[in-house]
Amino acid sequence: MVRHGYLNCNSCHTTMVGGGLLNEYGRSLSREILSQPSLLGVPVTEGDERAGYGLLRTPEWLLLGGDVRLLQTFMESKKASRGRFMIMQMDLDGSAQVSKMIRVFASIGRVLPKDSDATAMDFVTSPRHGVELALTKAEDVNHVTLRFGRFMPGYGIGFVEHTLVTRQLLDFQPGQERYAAELAWADDHTSVIATGIGAQVDRAKQSRTKRETGGIIQLATALGEHAKVGANYYQTQIEAGTRRIYGAFANVGFSKTWYGLLELDKPQTPTGKWGLVEIFKVGYEIKQGLHLIGIEEFANLNTEKSNPKFDAYSAGAEWFPRPHWDLYGLYRKERDTNISNDFNDVVWLIAHFYL
């Protein structure tokens, strides 16, 4: 969206960090500039973007939404060929503006545990819930909010492809939300988000938490009208010791059709070893609603050694045929030298429906 001049996440979403539930303006933009204007000769009409295609009529103070993401993968290596179908996400979200100052949010959804030996293969849980206080008026240039509860904290770029290295290796996947308090300030060009973390959700056992206390600071600023850059610092105490991450990111609209996203992170494990995790994603909009995508990824969690490391190169397309729909296909060459020095051939097919 930055190539269209939208530099702050809360232009379209209910929080300054972005992701998740769309506000009404974000829904209108999904119809006007994101989705294909017609499909098989049938034009998109005003109202198609509303919750449940307009069937879920709610009062002005209540927003409802939901997401279903399905993933089919195919992997070919010298040793084996396999495929896997996965329900990546199945959530319902709600946000209630109970007063001018107070907003309550909650969700219910399905989480696939990380550990294959978990007692159940999925859980019904509440990935996000809490309260947000607006400390300034809606018409003010400077916006300040205080949010506390369970949510994914603001760090780097919140790629929806949660298996990309910056989300997977740094513990920002679904089911790894934090119990936290977040103070955020933003104007039209700059934002500062400070998060205090009290615990991390245990992805293998959603009813439990893992010890993690500390905080994150994120600063981001606009460079002109179509680019935003930022930096993060993450430090927490976990059971194994101190965890630190330094990071920087950029979201750039090169033109009305070309755009790029870059994130570089330098994580330190509790053993004191420094690593490097990096991703660069570039996109080109062929026509409204249809994009070509290229992604490069690299990760080495101990840069004192050249191996083991992970690297991947992907090319594909993303199609928004109508409001509420996002179809995504990628062909990947990926290698994990901890397993083999050979590249594997991988295909991702993702279908996303948002309510």
Q: Tell me: the pLDDT tens digits for 259-314?
A: 999 999 999 988 889 999 999 999 999 999 999 999 999 999 999 988 899 999 99
Quote the pLDDT of residue 47.
83
C-alpha closest to that of 248 among 159, 152, 154, 156:
156
Peptide bond into 308 cis (omega under 30): yes
Under 8 Å between Cβ of 309 and 299: yes
Q: Can you tell me the distance from the alpha carbon of 172 to that of 56, in angstroms, rounded to the nearest whole number?
A: 31
Please give the backbone phi and psi of residue 123, each rounded to the nearest 5 degrees, phi first. -135, 145
Q: Does residue 119 have a pLDDT over 70?
A: no
C-alpha closest to that of 4 among 254, 327, 295:
254
Quote the pLDDT of residue 121.
57
The top-scoring range by mean pLDDT among 4-8, 108-112, 157-161 is 157-161
Q: Coil, helix or strand for 142?
A: coil
C-alpha closest to that of 22 among 9, 41, 4:
9
State the pLDDT confidence band at 240, using cuts at 50, 70 and 90. Answer: confident
State the pLDDT confidence band at 247, using cuts at 50, 70 and 90. Answer: very high
> 77: which strand partners?
none
Compute and round to an integer the Cα radius of gyration of the chain: 20
Mean pLDDT of the chain: 88
CATH number of 2-354: 2.40.160.10
State the pLDDT confidence band at 205, using cuts at 50, 70 and 90. Answer: low
Q: Coil, helix or strand for 168?
A: helix
C-alpha closest to that of 151 among 182, 178, 133:
178
Arithmetic mean of pLDDT, 132-157: 91
Tokens 């770029």, residue located: 157
Report pLDDT digits (tens) over 304-344: 988 899 999 999 999 999 989 999 999 999 999 988 899 99
Q: Does residue 76 have a pLDDT over 60?
A: yes
Tokens 């996400």, residue located: 89
* Residue 297, CA distances (Å) to 39, 76, 169, 300, 352 in order: 34, 19, 12, 11, 23
Higher pLDDT among residues 351 and 58, named by residue: 351
Arithmetic mean of pLDDT, 168-188: 91
